[in-house]
Structure 1
Amino acid sequence: MDKIAVLIPCYNESQTIEKVVKDWKRELPEAVIYVYDNNSKDGTDEIAREAGAVVRYEYQQGKGNVIRRMFREIDAQCYIMIDGDDTYPAEMGREMVNKVLERNVDMVVGDRLSSTYFEENKRPFHNFGNSLVRGSINRLFRSNIRDIMTGYRAFSYEFVKSFPVLSKGFEIETEMSIHAVDKNMAVENIIIEYRDRPQGSESKLNTYSDGFKVLKTIGRLYKNYKPMQFFGMVSLLLFIIAACMFVPVLITYFEIGLVPNFPTLIVSGFMALAALQSLFSGMILSTIAERERQEFEFRLQLVRRMKKDELC
């Protein structure tokens, strides 16, 4: 087991990868630097290898697929995940590692949004999207993660080996954040300086398509992790619609003693039944989700035992 593993997922980062690898070798000389190449066509892998990194490959395209491969293959007491575009400072790595190894923090989040991100980033829709995602998750899950989409994080062995990677692309950071909050893992934020990509280096993130995937992921995970709240809101909405349709029919009945709008009455009845069905679905799924959290704690004990065995 490595003590510290620096994980760098890469796709066509030949312009910056050498500097990133050398910066991390300088800041954390005891760490093993892993570069996982994701079908780069510009020689990123060879440059990283010459700079001193251990180069491996993931042929399924997408950042989520790369991180899944990394987490499966590498065993370490502490993991640092960093992008290969030289937008994050390696100088904060030591502090992040210390939080994991000395304070038993499960995930340390490199917070760009509280420092220079909005000044350095030249894509206004990215700024808006980051703020929207952060606000949505912190409100829905009652958390205080200051930067949901950051690619600069540190993890404990327990987090990495118990985290089920389901996303294939850039929504992976959102999935990590929600998983940590839902499973009551120790999370801390560290404010970092952010610098925009150097000229000639292009972001692989599509503002609109990837942004939609992130929002879709938030909705999916909210439904899975907080089913009572999700289906409770659906039930309330259906009940309000049913009431809005039923009340005028009821008023007309009291006024003239007749029900002239039977179709409206029937539809309102079906809407009320759907509201009840949604409510009971939320209650059942909430019980299942609670059971899953209990089972996760038992699995986490097994992961910790595996870690102790490997250290011994």
Structure 2
Amino acid sequence: MKTAILIPCYNESKTIEKVVTDFKRVMPHADIYVYDNNSTDGTERIARDAGAIVRHEYKQGKGNVVRSMFRQITADCYILVDGDDTYPAEDAPEIERMILSGEADMVIGDRLSSTYFEENDRRFHNTGNRMVRKFINLFFKSDLKDIMTGMRGFNYNFVKSFPIQSKGFEIETEMSVFALINNFQIHEIPVDYRDRIEGSESKLNTFRHGYKVLVMIAALIRDERPLLFFTAISLILLVIAGIYFFPILFKYFSTGYVLKIPTLIVISTVVIIATVIFFTGVILHVLKRQHRDELEHHMILLNELKDE
């Protein structure tokens, strides 16, 4: 059984040596891969000197890095962890055990039930984590405790069937939703979280990346729950149409005259659009179900190829 430790890095020279050496100590049997994402501070050299296998991804963004990792590396267990030394290596063996035993397809390192809110004093980060968690759990009928953690474990089937669309930090949200939608077995385990050391700066911009995550959630709801998404839009349009239509209807009942003919034409157009949008959702819902069937077939083929 092969385990791969995947560490995406961008300018983490102050912490990457410790991250690599900690994982080499705790999991000496694992291959440790550091993917350098255009660092300018010597991260690549430090990681290589520490004993990691160093590769490069030149398209900027964590999503791009993870895509390359998943495409290029073959293993039975993958453990993805940030290179900023905020996640202790000591939690990795339990993640590995759950993946290799078949208990989980994806293991989430849950910071939010552990030390995250004590260690992280960035108020908007904390609020954003809670908000994203509520959105995901509401729309995808789940009870995940940490959506955006940077420490996760995956099995071979998850990694090789995950079509990554994200380019940046939205990748964590996309992973969680993909697992929920496609019925992968998910387990969460509490992991300790420690804030960055002095002099190590986060690459996460609270508002810019927060906006991207919210856009990603909306896109995922549209793509993964099309019937819900387009039905909601149809209902909003019908409510707007009703607000303008019923006063005209009541006036007709009281006077016998149809007033505001142009408004009625616009209302009729809105109702037609709402109907078209609803049936668009129905069609996409059927196509999505067919896609899930194809994914199941793909998973069977993956298992057959792996056995060979």
Q: What's the TM-score bracket when you normalise by the shorter of the two chains?
A: over 0.9
What aligned pairs does 1:145-164 form with structure 2 within 5 A after superposition? 145-164=144-163
Structure 1 residue 272, shift from structure 2 partner = 1.1
Tell me which residue corresponds to 2:97: 98
Tell me which residue corresponds to 1:171: 170
Structure 1 residue 119, shift from structure 2 partner = 1.4
Structure 1 residue 38, shift from structure 2 partner = 0.5
In structure 2, how many angstroms separate the alpha carbons of the residues matched to 1:96 and 1:161?
Answer: 19
The residue matched to 2:135 in structure 1 has which SS? helix
Tell me which residue corresponds to 1:193: 192
Amino acid corresponding to residue 113 of structure 2 in structure 1: S
Amino acid corresponding to residue 6 of structure 2 in structure 1: L
Number of aligned positions between the proteins: 308
Once the two structures are superposed, residues 13-58 of structure 1 have per-residue CA deviations (whole angstroms, 9 ceiling, x without a partner) of 0000010001101111100000000011111111111111111111
The residue matched to 1:76 in structure 2 has which SS? coil
The residue matched to 2:199 in structure 1 has which SS? coil
Structure 1 residue 270, shift from structure 2 partner = 1.2
Q: Is the 8 A contact 1:111 1:146 kept in 2?
A: yes
Q: Is the 8 A contact 1:108 1:190 kept in 2?
A: yes
RMSD: 0.9
Task: Please give the TM-score of this superposition, normalised by the length of structure 2.
Answer: 0.98
Tell me which residue corresponds to 2:78: 79
Tell me which residue corresponds to 2:274: 275
In structure 2, how many angstroms separate the alpha carbons of the residues matched to 1:244 and 1:175?
Answer: 37
Instruction: Kindly indicate whether residue 17 of structure 2 is the aligned counterpart of residue 18 of structure 1.
Output: yes
Tell me which residue corresponds to 2:258: 259
Tell me which residue corresponds to 2:44: 45
Gaps of 5+ in 1: none
Tell me which residue corresponds to 2:142: 143
In structure 2, how many angstroms separate the alpha carbons of the residues matched to 1:219 and 1:246?
Answer: 30
Once the two structures are superposed, residues 198-226 of structure 1 have per-residue CA deviations (whole angstroms, 9 ceiling, x without a partner) of 01000001111111111101111110111
Q: Is the 8 A contact 1:104 1:156 kept in 2?
A: no
Instruction: Kindly indicate whether residue 289 of structure 2 is the aligned counterpart of residue 301 of structure 1.
Output: no
Q: Is the 8 A contact 1:109 1:145 kept in 2?
A: no
In structure 2, how many angstroms separate the alpha carbons of the residues matched to 1:43 and 1:145?
Answer: 37
Amino acid corresponding to residue 37 of structure 2 in structure 1: N
In structure 2, how many angstroms separate the alpha carbons of the residues matched to 1:264 and 1:168?
Answer: 44
Instruction: Kindly indicate whether residue 20 of structure 2 is the aligned counterpart of residue 57 of structure 1.
Output: no
Tell me which residue corresponds to 1:287: 286
Once the two structures are superposed, residues 113-168 of structure 1 have per-residue CA deviations (whole angstroms, 9 ceiling, x without a partner) of 11111111121111011101011001101112211111100000000000011111
Same amino acid, percent of matched pairs? 56
Structure 1 residue 103, shift from structure 2 partner = 2.9
**Which 4+ runs in 1 deviate beyond 6 A?**
none
In structure 1, how many angstroms separate the alpha carbons of the residues matched to 2:257 and 2:230?
Answer: 35
